Each structure stands twice: as C-alpha cells, then as structure tokens.
Amino acid sequence: MKKLKLRDATPLFVGGSRLVFEHPSNPDLLIKIPRPDISSRWTSKRTRFGRVYLTRRFGAYTDSFRELREYVSIRARQEGHPNFLPLYFGFVETDYGLGVVVGRVCGTDGTPAPTLGQEIRETGFSPDLSRQLDELESAVQQLGLTTGDIGMGNVVCAFSESHGPHLVIVDGIGDKTFLRINTLSSYLRWRTNRRHFAKLRKRAWDIDRDRASIAAASPPLVGEVDGSLASRCCHTAGASIPIGTR
C-alpha cells in the first residue's frame, strides 16, 4: 500500500500528543498521527509499578490504540454508530507512520465544528448548550463509554440533519489508568465519567463568566450610545437633522 504523504501538508489541529491532517484524497476524513516532536519520548517512557519499571508496549501509538479499542468496545455493545463520537475507519500508513482515520465533524455551516470552548467564548454557555452537555453525559454513561481526558478542546459543537445540534467527543476516550480499572468496574467508570463531566461543566461556567466580565468592562461601540443623546446631537438651530443625512 502506498504511503499517504503528509509531511508537506499543514496540520488542521495540533493537540497535546497528536497532529490532525485532512485526508489527501477525501476532505470528509481526517488523519491523526503522533506528534513527531514527542514520539521519541514514548520509545523510552516507562511506568513504575512498585519496584518494577514497565515500558509502554504501544509507544507513541498508545493514545491511538486506546481510542480505537474504546470505540470498538462501544460498537460491540451497540448496533449502529453513536452520534456523540466521530466515525473511526482504522489505521492508514503515512510518511509519519501509522495514522488513525476518522470522519470529519462539521458545524452548522459545513465547516469544521467549533470546540465547546470556542463556542462558549463566542456565544456564551446558553441553556441549549447546557442541555446538550447533559445529553452527552447521559449518552456516555448509558453506553458505558470510558472517558480519559475530555476538555474544552476535544468536545465540539456539531450539526447534522438527522440529529440537529449536538456535542461530539473527538478525542480523549479510553481508559488511561494503568490497570484499566475503569474498564473492569462499571461503578468506577461511572464515577470517573461523572468527575470528568463535572470539571468540564465547571470550566464551561468559568469561560462564560469571564466572557461576561470582559463584555461588561468593554466601552460601548459607536452607535450603541443612548438614543436620546444621539437625538439631541442631531438638532441644530432649532431644526431636526435626520441621522445619516449629513
């Protein structure tokens, strides 16, 4: 199989451990690859377990393997694709090494869906967005998905004709604990997910509060002054001059 060439392309997103590229031959697909600048660290990274040091078997691909394993476990328990996750298509060979192919998640205008953080900074943490977050948590808990690292940057505000506006987790799924205790215990999984969503919601309110503070501190723009003042400024020599006719 011919390798996909990505080295001359510009990544769409740069995450903490991976780069995300548009698929060279299909704009509806994205490719996640380990960041080259940190891949070498994974080769020698070891985890201490008591007096024993263990090397991570999958190296730089640990995040990708964890993500795919969690997605497959969900598909094994549910017939059909859950709308709160992107489609996963497996691995592909690239000039960076193995990459995970996923479906592009779009917003209302067909462009890449904005992150939850971007949406709140732009429009605020609205009651509708809060409801979507509640629905996302409910769906995650109901299906038994294990979340490992969900935040403002890896939950996006998606839109589809079949589901309307809804939230999608595009990164951060899978059990990050060393012994995978969240996978083995439904109670621990539920508690971990609940804690992750509580932190996510707190962060959402923090961003919304900061946004409101900035808006309150900003001076009014031209045209936003009191209407009566604008009216008085347009009266000269006892004659009223309509705004915009000068």
CATH of the domain at 158: 1.10.510
Question: What does the pLDDT read at residue 45?
Answer: 55
Question: What does the pLDDT read at residue 104?
Answer: 95
Domain match, 51 and 63 both: yes
Answer with the residue of higher pLDDT: 133 or 110: 133
pLDDT band at residue 57 using 50, 70 and 90 as cut-offs: confident
The whole-angstrom distance between residue 147's C-alpha and the CA centroid of its chain comes to 13
The parent domain of residue 75 ranges over 1-104
Domain boundary (104, 120, 152) is at: 104
Q: Is residue 100 part of a domain?
A: yes
For the range 117-124, what are the long-range contacts, defined as Cβ-Cβ under 8 Å and sequence gap of 24 or more?
A: 117/151, 117/152, 117/153, 117/203, 117/207, 119/157, 120/152, 120/204, 120/207, 120/208, 120/211, 121/207, 121/211, 124/208, 124/211, 124/212
Domain count of the fold of the chain: 2
Question: What does the pLDDT read at residue 1?
Answer: 64
Contact present, 148 and 230 (Cβ < 8 Å) = no
Q: What is the mean pLDDT of residues 83-112?
A: 94
pTM over 0.85: no
Domain boundary (51, 83, 104) is at: 104
